[in-house]
Structure 1
Amino acid sequence: MPTEEPRIVLPAALDHLPERLAITLWDFSWYVRTGPGEPFADLDAAFARAVDLGYNAVRICAMPFLLFRSGVDTSALRLEPLGGAGASNGYGSRVRWYDVREPTVIDAKAHLLEFCRAADRHGVKVIASSWEYQQSPAFAADPAWYEALHAVDPEDRLAVLGEAQADLVDFLAEHGLAHVIACVEPHNEVQIGHLTAGLPGVEDAVVELQGRLEAGIAAFQARHPEVLCAPNYGGVPIGSLRGLPRNATALGFHPYVYGVLDDLIEEFGLRRDPALFDQARADAELLRAGAPPLAEWRLPEANAWKLKASIMQPVEIYVHDWCDPEKFDRWLYNGYGAHRIAMANRLRDWIDAAADHAARLGVPVFFGEGWVGYTPRDGRFEEGPVGAQICRDAIAHSVRVGAWGSIVCSNAAPQHPMWADEALQRECNAALLAPVK
């Protein structure tokens, strides 16, 4: 007999939230890319486009630490490309998420209010997270934000972030906008980045972070028990799910299945010591004609702190900046056949495991990023016939397990070329938001 699709049951106090969230990932881009001609120069236009494509939720870095706990004056926050304002070398200029073109100055709190008011006007809910211990401060014009983050003892960072998120909800409530928040996350991908500093390293970081995460969630819930609070994980850590915080009221996961992309990363050493990089092979198989050697592609010395503020590796930035996108895509297509079944199985199993553990805890689950992995900005593997089908499969799995929310793809957002693929986004969002049978 056919079985009914699982229903998402939210607490009665949350009946102002949609039954399902069709999420588009605007991360930190919504404030670092506001200059002339940038994707978020006009927030109303960005939201209108999102709604037209079928989205009803956005997931962002709400910069909570910067705004409420850093002590940094944000009334004239200067933001700029990774290489610096007016940098001639274009460092990071073809790297997905990092390709900020224009320096800009914003009143950060006022900009957050403008963002949430625009979301409200368009009927869009917001998942408020933080990328601050991963990438966000790398786009500031000076290191004050980065230094304030790292002045916090690693043992206390998640608790401080929990308080900062509570401050953010208070701030929005003062302006009649608290209802815009669908949920908060203490931080993006907690086990990947500077939140793991000082851990013993004996067990997986997910397990060792449990106490810190529970403290952060408790700090938030003590002030806003009415707002869902979701820890967020890179991947689905199926070998360490016992480490999920027991006080979570929602769960967020990023099922990036990698597979053939893992092979490319390993074979070319994109995340290893630059001294081990095989320049000759990369020149032949991945890079564009005229690419400078890796040793010559670096940030200006004055901006070297920006790499410390980010978790990106220099080799990966270099290859993404200087690859021939068709060569990169061809390498993935040539190897995909050997990984096809394993990637499909990982996608299904990870989504199943995430939903199962959410059911064990009695909380909603959502997938805020996915599905293949981190590819160059101008690559089209995710939009092509293989990647597009992975998007469709992921949406089908999300519906099947009763996920509260999901994405079309991490790259389906205004700051990526995939935003132009209207048909795929409309198709996937319609399938996700179709009435539960």
Structure 2
Amino acid sequence: MSGQSRYLGSGTIKRDTAELTGVVPAHLPQRLTITLWDFSWYTRAESGGPYADLDAACSQAAELGYNTIRICAAPLLLFGDLGLEDLAIDVEIEGMGKAPDGGIYGRGTRWYDAPGGYRLNLQRRLFELFEAAERHGLVVILASWEFQQSPAFAATSQWFNAIDAVPLTKRYAALATAWDRMITALTAAGHRERIALVELHNEVDFSILPALADGGTQELSRLQSLHPDLLFTASYGKPPHLAMHTVPGHHSAAQFHVYSYGVLDALQRRIDIRSEGTASFPNEELRSLLHATAPSVEDYGRLAGWKYEATVVTDQMFYGYDWIDEIAWDNWLNSHYGKYREVMLREIESRVIAISEWARWKKIPALVGEGWIGYTPLLGTFEEGPIGRELAEKGIRTALAHGVWGMVLCSNAAPHHPMWGNQDWQRHMNNIILATPTTTEN
């Protein structure tokens, strides 16, 4: 045995995992750097807003090193044949509405801080977005947030009522039909090769939809048979990382989200901010973190009732985030993070690996379209700061080491979030992603 290495089993033999998990269509970038524009590209299009000028927004994204934008394309509104044709070309964006103090509901939240007050032709705007994306070398991931929150931003419930009237068992079919029509229209306009991926719906596990196995997989198959050159999937907000074999088949790409709430979850449970209808709300712990000027829950008032039905955000979340003292919030997270750090880092790593291994087994490209910590107040800096960036970089480097095709830098790295201002970090990380080889060097 002298001079020989001990054999300790096949598990000790290093396996090269950096090669992409599946083949990417030749006309698409071989690595995607994704900025998450969700529904905000039309709900934050107010004068002077982050998406008032789509060309300028696309130009800046490209300058920061992004090559992909992920959006809610509102397929049911625009191509759903649900009697919304007039609304599709003239929808009034209100946001969450005006509060009794004259401010807007959602003022302290991410995504929901929409002042509204304008109308737009969303159907025309979709094609304008694709034209701007083409000018700046961007591709587009098409998704729908309609059974999760998009209609809540409209001034009337017409959009929500129309999609809510679709029987639960027929919602995936309605989505697939709308996607087919949208793809056909985009193709006719010369934009087919600009489509990076089509998601049947965003976060099917956290939307007003049945389980994907209950009708969704067959609709994915139908779309793939109609458009075999395109990639289709349905994203999960919390994929079953410990049992990925239970994810229904028929995906041609794997777009899953990786959030490690850790210390954030500990704070949320402590202040009971994500529940609804709690009799003692706000509890003592939450009151200790609110601004001194915070009104009572009664004085704060409520959104229009239908808006709560149209979104997954609760009344307690709106009140809490609108009136939280962001400095006190950040201080609590920073002071308690230490005991969660290793768990959060390991959780991000293990979840990314679980997704990539499932995709490799299926021989399809893998993406992380959202991540890494979770939902924080608009002006909180925990995720934008050193701690959040460390966790994000862990996720990104793990994704690159395990053959993930595309990834966000962070869910908050988009024009409608304060994190967009950290341009140096975004350029640096996008350069790392784009410089990492996608094939194994022989």
Q: Closer, same or farther in 2 for the Cα pair 1:210/1:106, shift >3 Å? A: same
What secondary structure sits across from 1:368 in the alignment? strand
Aligned to 2:78: 67
1:264 aligned partner: 267
**1:265-313 residue CA offsets vs partner (Å, 9 max, x unmatched):** 111111223334443524543111110122332335xx22111100001
Which residue number in structure 2 is paired with residue 200 of structure 1?
A: none
The aligned residue for residue 342 of structure 1 is 343
CA–CA distance in 2 between the matches of 1:218 and 1:277? 48
Aligned with residue 69 of structure 2, among 51, 54, 58: 58
Q: Distance between the aligned counterparts of 1:124 and 1:294, measured in 2?
A: 44
TM, length-normalised to structure 2: 0.92
Matched, 1:129 2:143: yes
Q: In 2 relative to 1, CA 64–31 (structure 1 residues): closer, same or farther, beyond 3 Å?
A: same
Structure-1 separation of matches of 2:326 and 2:147: 29
Shift of 1:321: 0.4
Gaps of 5+ in 2: 1-12
1:245 deviates by 2.5
Distance (Å, rounded) in 1 between the aligned partners of 2:166 and 2:290:
40
Helix, strand or coil at the partner of 2:36: strand
* Distance of 1:8 and 1:140 partners within structure 2: 40
- Report the counterpart of residue 92 of structure 2 in structure 1: 78
Structure 1 window deviating more from structure 2 (19-28 vs 235-244): it is 235-244
Alignment of 1:240-279 (within 5 A): 240-279=243-282
Q: Structure 1 residue 165: deviation in Å?
A: 1.3
**Percent same amino acid among aligned pairs?**
38
Q: Which residue of 2 aligns with 1:353?
A: 354
Aligned residues: 423
AA in 2 matched with 1:38: G
Q: Find out whether 1:156 has 2:170 as its counterpart.
A: yes
Supply the distance in 2 between the matched residues of 1:352 and 1:236 (Cα, whole angstroms): 12
Amino acid at match of 1:431: I
Residue 372 of structure 2 corresponds to which residue in structure 1? 371
Residue in structure 2 matched with residue 7 of structure 1 by the alignment: 19
Shift of 1:62: 0.5
- SS of aligned partner of 1:187: coil
Structure 1 pair 277/226, CA: closer, same or farther in 2 (3 Å)? farther
In the alignment, the residues of structure 2 paired with residue 189 and residue 285 of structure 1 have an alpha-carbon distance, to the nearest angstrom, of 33
Q: Distance in 2 between matches of 1:87 and 1:156?
A: 42
Amino acid in the other structure paired with 2:268: I
Residue pair 1:370, 1:409 contacting (<8 A) in 2 also: yes
Match of 1:119 in 2: 133
Matched, 1:332 2:343: no
Q: Equivalents in 1 of 2:338, 2:256: separation in Å? A: 26
CA RMSD of aligned residues (A): 1.9
Hey, what's the Cα distance between the residues in 1 that align with 2:78 and 2:411?
26
Q: Please tell me whether the aligned partners of residues 91 and 120 of structure 2 are also in contact (alpha carbons under 8 angstroms).
A: yes
Deviates more, 1:235-244 or 1:125-134: 235-244
Paired residue for 1:204? none
When residues 255 and 11 of structure 1 are mapped into structure 2, their CA distance, relative to the original with a 3 A threshold, is closer
1:8: how far off? 2.3
Gaps of 5+ in 1: 197-207
Q: Which residue of 2 aligns with 1:230?
A: 233
Q: How far apart, CA to CA, are the structure 1 residues paired with 2:32 and 2:162? A: 34
Q: Which moved more, 1:387-396 or 1:372-381?
A: 387-396
Compute the TM-score of the two structures, normalised by the length of structure 1: 0.93
Question: Does the 8 Å contact 1:64/1:130 carry over to 2?
Answer: yes
Deviation at 1:93, TM superposition (A): 1.6
Partners of 1:120 and 1:10 lie apart in 2 by 25
- Tell me if the contact between 1:38 and 1:102 (Cα under 8 Å) persists in the aligned partners: no
Q: In the alignment, which residue of structure 2 is the partner of 1:408?
A: 409
* Correspondence for 2:383: 382
- The 3 A distance-change label for structure 1 pair 346 and 277 is farther
1:269-308 counterparts in 2 under 5 A?
269-279=272-282, 281-282=284-285, 284-300=287-303, 303-308=304-309
Give yes or no for the alignment of 1:188 onto 2:199.
Answer: no
